[in-house]
Structure 1
């Protein structure tokens, strides 16, 4: 005899409980899912190029939107005063160097020849004075002249002999270079003049400004002929390495991000995603309510993250442009 087996019906409360449990599992499963797409924007760290000196804008070699290479001329301010100051410093250096060289060589041969001629004249006069003294001495011995005349002859002979010795010493000194202390003082003057020339060169060079690195000319606030105050930016540049993407991620994701991690940046009009690398992950949350964290409030935590594209891909992005960041 065969017995028919029948399924036991569920208790009245079992079916609703199963439905609730399935829904809870579904919700729990959805809660464990995380999105890998975050909203952000492009930001540029601009470089303001200026001259430390004021002047009229004479030359503007670039225009907005132009890509320039490193070393390319950007602008030049009028520099008449700086050119005159440099010429003056150069002339003063030449004069100081010439004076130092003159100290090292002593007097010129022509000047020495003049001293020698004066010495010859003095020697001849000394000889005449000596001869006159000898005659007067003999005359005095026989009573031919007075004592006063003999004394005058002796004084003249001594004076002429002293003049000869003086001129001989002058010739010896003329052949010598300047004293060590004088040369050292003049060498210091040469060094000071050389430093003044270097300063004048530096000031003149700062009136003509070139790009220290390649990049995009983002703005040129001044026009030709306008007066530019000292330190006022004439060109604002955006180097490729200064383009970055700022985006915010929820608290549930920030722990999985690290510096150097690769991400992709998507934007409207971009033909393909732009590769970038994370360079900064904030340690503190933003837009957080001032309450004790709970499961509900933790969902509101967001953390700032920054990523930079490569130099080749940076021109594809524009500052202020909204983007989406995804993990590949």
Structure 2
């Protein structure tokens, strides 16, 4: 009987001894920060964010003084209006009032030509009768031809006044319009650069300038971390890396977290490292301290903090 009990006890213990615990690895949280800056220089006039604030995509972050850029945009717009007006003037020809002036000159020239023609007719009759010299007849003939030519010239001027400009002139002015449009677009872009918005939803981790300070072009004014840029780094031994593939599920545990965080492997290094970066052990983790700032409720990304030690368990 005692032998049977001993055998049952041995069977009950064996399964517990044969179980393998899921390995856990020490790691840390890392964030790929986004540094928000402007391509233009200027005085910081507005800082619409504070450290620790969660901002939505497209929300205003900061604004630089833009008086010069606004004036340049207004100037470019006025030049564009002028170029459009000149192009329209070339395409439409002269104004009706200007055409009317030429018509009045044509009427006067027509009357003079008619008078000169009548005088030539009389002088030809007088010359045939021997009443006038040949020189007087030549003068009358020349005057009649001149007045008739003036009538033709003014008629042509009216036709030309009604025509648009030459194609070369229109093409040249069209190019001026396009250049003015490009100048407006450039001025608008520079003005838009004076107001920077959040490229994605994320938390503001730091502000690097105060209102009233001069900001050089390209200098970061704010540092933010979108949730999708938060990742965990951990290290596994060479004997385990062969079984891992991108997309494999894992669980992240951190001290003070209300619940574990699920994640997936996105990258496996191709190079081995003899000495990994600093990894916090369970013995030393309790000695770490963090500065805490109270803020309103935030999104789920707040469960993990950059630099925070975590324990990773593979699924």
Q: Report 1 or 2 for greater relative contact order, CA contacts < 8 Å, sequence distance ≥ 6.
A: 2
The match for 1:270 among 254, 257, 282 is 257
TM superposition shift of 1:139: 3.6
TM superposition shift of 1:66: 0.5
**Structure 2: how far apart are the matches of 1:57 and 1:123?**
73
The match for 2:140 among 153, 163, 173 is 153
In structure 2, runs of 5+ residues without a counterpart are 1-16, 280-297
**Structure 2: how far apart are the matches of 1:214 and 1:35?**
36
Residue 320 of structure 1: aligned partner: 307
- For the aligned residue pairs, the C-alpha RMSD in angstroms reads 2.5
**Structure 2: how far apart are the matches of 1:74 and 1:121?**
73
TM-score when normalising by structure 1: 0.78
Please identify the structure whose Cα radius of gyration is greater.
1
The match for 2:207 among 220, 228, 233 is 220
1:135 aligns with 2:122: yes
Residue 82 of structure 2: aligned partner: 95
**Structure 2: how far apart are the matches of 1:108 and 1:144?**
50
**Structure 2: how far apart are the matches of 1:90 and 1:153?**
60
1:107 aligns with 2:94: yes
Contact 1:217 1:237 in 2 (8 A): yes
**Structure 2: how far apart are the matches of 1:34 and 1:182?**
85
SS of 2:139's partner is helix
| 1:312 to 1:283, Cα distance in 2 relative to 1, 3 A | farther
The match for 1:122 among 85, 106, 109 is 109
Contact 2:31 2:229 in 1 (8 A): yes
Number of corresponding residues: 280
Deviation readout 1:65-105 (Å, 9 max, x if unpaired): 10001111111111112111211221122222222222332
TM superposition shift of 1:169: 0.8
The match for 2:149 among 142, 159, 162 is 162
Residue 193 of structure 1: aligned partner: 180
**Structure 1: how far apart are the matches of 2:222 and 2:136?**
94
TM superposition shift of 1:227: 1.2
TM-score when normalising by structure 2: 0.81
1:233 aligns with 2:220: yes
The match for 2:27 among 33, 36, 40 is 40
TM superposition shift of 1:182: 2.6
In structure 1, runs of 5+ residues without a counterpart are 1-28, 289-300, 305-310
**Structure 2: how far apart are the matches of 1:175 and 1:58?**
55
Runs of 4+ in structure 1 displaced over 4 angstroms? Answer: 32-35
